[in-house]
Amino acid sequence: MNKKIKCVLLVDDDEPTNFINEIILKRTGLVEKIVPVQSGMAALEYINKAGGSDYPRPELIFLDINMPGISGWDFLEEYKKLPQHLKAKNVIVMLTTSLNPDDDAKAKTYQEISEYRSKPLTYEKITEIIEKHFAD
């Protein structure tokens, strides 16, 4: 695969998880910029100001469900309200440790969610997701 993703947004309140996911994403060589944030609110703020070279618009978002303040579900409700030009070409992968089947079922009700995956994020999962959603 030749295409590189311009920007990946990691949304997880757990800093070590973001750090590990960032390392794995870098190892793929398929991502130009990785932006880790530790809250749904920080993710929404980033998306709202994205668009230039300093803040490239994320093409792929990895979203945790359980976060303090704004959960992944709350993020999605706010994300749906954003103008279309801020959401264009985003692939959202809900990445979670939740074993609750209700979460999986709920994720299927959101057209914004491209995939629902369990943690940990691995090299194989990343390459699968990129090949599926960003094929040349």
Rg (CA), the chain: 14
Domain boundaries, the chain: 5-121
Q: What is the pLDDT of residue 13?
A: 96
Separation CA 17–CA 82 (nearest Å): 27
Q: Chain centroid to CA 133: how far?
A: 13
Residue 2: its pLDDT value, please?
Answer: 60
Please tell me whether residue 46 adopts helix, strand or coil conformation: helix
Q: Is 15 helix (H, G, I), strand (E, B) or coil?
A: helix
Q: What angle do CA 28, 98, 68 make, to 5 degrees?
A: 90
Taking only the tens place, the pLDDT of each residue in 1-43 is: 567 899 999 999 999 999 999 999 999 999 999 999 999 999 9
pLDDT band at 136 (very low <50, low <70, confident <90, very high): low
Classify domain 5-121 at the CATH class level: alpha beta
Asked if pLDDT for residue 133 goes beyond 90, the answer is: yes
**pLDDT tens per residue across span 56-114:** 999 999 999 999 999 999 999 999 999 988 887 889 999 998 888 999 999 999 999 99
